[in-house]
């Protein structure tokens, strides 16, 4: 039986979003939670999510929930901050927060089943910006006692402008963040129109829905059993049938997809009598659009946030970001310009919430740039497509220290590798050799081969492919340390 005298706080980091409103920087293949958007330090948004709580008393290693496509990105970024998660759960597809939280709660109870610890879950989104870490941690500490008494806590952010892109919470009583007052939730409101949003600003009982929660694992499961019993049943089956995949737990697909696609706010918090809201005054933002990113960024004397190779003349109140090329603006105001290797966004800043609709349109029309970057990340490193024709392609390949590609062969193409930095160990048809900068190797069509980096430094090489078909699926793997 779990003891109420021993507490452990388990962070549950939700990292499954696609971040389409921040296209072209954020895409399905590498969404915003894995990026360093503000460049105020060296950490990505996922890394910041844990770093801002890692010194809390009674905090333990996190559980991260992500799409299976991003598993190696999550694993790598956690290792970069020296964190080994309790578990990395892989969703076969996004089904909103209720299934994710249900499975996380079940898994936490399984992890602590042989202890007398009563685990409390701290549900965090991986794409939030929080400026005042001290106040954020204070709000978490104040939520623990309330959650320990079987209540369900949601953090409400006092609105600073009439946002129409956020959901709202109405509390039964007015809240004072400085006194850490707690109130029962009166109701939840979906994203309002501008008139209602202005009213919410003036009424002190309304708060932005932060999407962050605190509750005991047992408490939330009891409420899910009452209000979403079929989801609980499917999640139990899903967890029982899940399979270990190296450092990851791959959730069973059929049972997970049978779960209703619904948020924990709608499935439980809008119906339970145990929902309480705690005010959060910490400079919170969910970085949901280029407009919101501009609001929280440091600006120059003209109100511009400029990053990269940018020259702005007679330009005001704009966000201009260059990843590679020189971007020049003249006589512009209230504009967003974002340049990447393969796409450029130009938009009115007030229309930045509509970017997700443009991404949907690009998907309908079959534009690959809607979902995929020129840079493709793999568990061993990454590759960049530089240029290609019908029968040839040039890539830049970077292999992480100590990493290696699978032992493989191709049916339709040959490859030529030229090392430009570092040292490569190359296996070609059972013959192994070491090559360095300005040295090359040729891999004929149909020959087994493997590329490895045996050093502690990054390996960079140029790959020239030649053949009748150059798709990434032209590969037969014989051995792979990453289980692909």
Residue 125 near residue 166, CB atoms below 8 Å: no
Residue 184: C-alpha distances to residues 93, 147, 159, 188, 220 (Å): 33, 13, 18, 12, 16
End-to-end Cα, the chain, rounded Å: 41
C-alpha atoms less than 13 angstroms from C-alpha of 367 in its C-beta half-sphere: 14
pLDDT above 70: residue 178: no
pLDDT confidence band for 113 (50 / 70 / 90): very high
- Supply the pLDDT for residue 426: 97
Taking the mean position of all CA atoms in its chain, how far away is CA 349?
Answer: 24
Region 149-167 average pLDDT? 91
Rounded Cα distance between 27 and 19, Å, is 7
Residue pointed to by tokens 């694993």: 75
Percentage of the chain exceeding pLDDT 70: 98
Q: How many Å apart are CA 340 and CA 336, to the nearest integer?
A: 13
Residue 181 pLDDT greater than 80, yes or no = no
So what's the pLDDT on residue 39? Answer: 72
Kindly tell me the burial class for residue 439, based on how many C-beta atoms sit within 10 Å of its own C-beta (0-12, 13-18, 19 or more). Answer: middle
Tell me which residue has tokens 């501008």. Answer: 194
Nearby residues of 52 by Cβ (< 8 Å), 6 or more positions away: 130, 133, 136, 137
What's the pTM value of the predicted model, to 2 decimals?
0.90
Maximum Cα–Cα distance across the chain: 75
Torsion, Cα of 302, 308, 311, 315 (10° steps): -30
CA distances for 445 relative to 407, 411, 467, angstroms: 14, 6, 8
Residues 19-61: pLDDT tens digits? 899 999 999 999 999 999 887 778 999 999 999 999 999 999 9
Res. 100: pLDDT tops 90: yes
What domains are there in the chain, each with its CATH number? 7-285 (3.90.550.10), 290-364 (no CATH), 375-479 (2.60.120.10)
**Residue 180, pLDDT above cutoff 70:** no
Give the residue, 415 or 385, on which the prediction is more confident: 415
């Amino acid at each position: 039986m779990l003891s109420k005298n021993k507490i452990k706080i388990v962070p549950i980091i939700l990292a499954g979003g696609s971040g389409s409103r921040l296209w072209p920087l954020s895409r399905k293949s590498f969404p915003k939670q894995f990026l360093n958007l503000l460049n105020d330090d060296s950490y990505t948004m996922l890394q910041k999510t844990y770093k801002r709580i890692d010194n809390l008393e009674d905090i333990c290693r996190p559980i991260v929930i992500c799409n299976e496509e991003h598993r190696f990105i999550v694993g790598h970024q956690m290792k970069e901050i020296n964190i080994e998660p309790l578990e990395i759960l892989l969703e076969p597809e996004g089904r909103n927060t209720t299934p994710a939280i249900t499975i996380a709660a079940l898994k936490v109870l399984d992890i602590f089943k042989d202890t007398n610890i009563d685990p409390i879950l701290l549900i965090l989104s991986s794409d939030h910006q929080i400026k005042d870490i001290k106040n954020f941690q204070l709000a978490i500490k104040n939520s623990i006692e309330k959650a320990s008494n079987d209540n369900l806590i949601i953090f409400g952010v006092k609105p600073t402008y009439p946002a129409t892109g956020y959901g709202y919470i109405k509390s039964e009583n007015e809240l004072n963040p400085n006194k850490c007052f707690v109130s029962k939730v009166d109701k939840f409101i979906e994203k309002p129109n501008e008139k209602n949003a202005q009213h919410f600003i003036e009424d002190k009982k309304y708060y932005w829905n932060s999407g962050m929660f605190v509750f005991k694992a047992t408490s939330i499961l009891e409420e899910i059993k009452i209000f979403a019993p079929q989801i609980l049943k499917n999640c139990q089956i899903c967890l029982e049938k899940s399979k270990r995949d190296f450092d990851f737990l791959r959730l069973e697909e059929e049972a997970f997809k049978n779960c209703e696609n619904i948020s924990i706010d709608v499935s439980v918090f809008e119906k339970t009598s145990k929902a309480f809201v705690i005010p959060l005054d910490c400079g919170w933002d969910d970085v949901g659009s280029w407009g919101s990113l501009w609001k929280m960024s440091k600006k120059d004397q003209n109100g511009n946030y400029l990053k990269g190779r940018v020259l702005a003349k007679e330009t005001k109140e704009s966000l201009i970001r260059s990843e590679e090329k020189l971007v020049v603006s003249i006589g512009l105001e209230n504009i967003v310009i974002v340049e990447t290797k393969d796409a450029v966004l130009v938009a009115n800043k007030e229309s930045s919430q509509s970017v997700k609709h443009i991404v949907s349109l690009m998907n309908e029309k079959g534009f690959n740039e809607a979902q995929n970057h020129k840079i493709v990340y793999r568990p061993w490193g990454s590759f960049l497509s530089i240029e290609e024709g019908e029968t040839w392609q040039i890539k830049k390949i970077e292999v992480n220290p100590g990493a290696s590609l699978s032992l493989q062969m191709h049916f339709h193409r040959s490859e030529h590798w030229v090392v430009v930095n570092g040292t490569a160990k190359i296996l070609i048809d059972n013959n192994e050799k070491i090559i360095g900068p300005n040295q090359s190797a040729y891999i004929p069509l149909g020959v087994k081969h493997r590329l490895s980096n045996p050093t502690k430094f990054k390996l960079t090489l140029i790959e020239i492919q030649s053949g009748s078909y150059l798709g990434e699926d032209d590969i037969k793997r014989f051995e792979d340390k990453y289980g692909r």
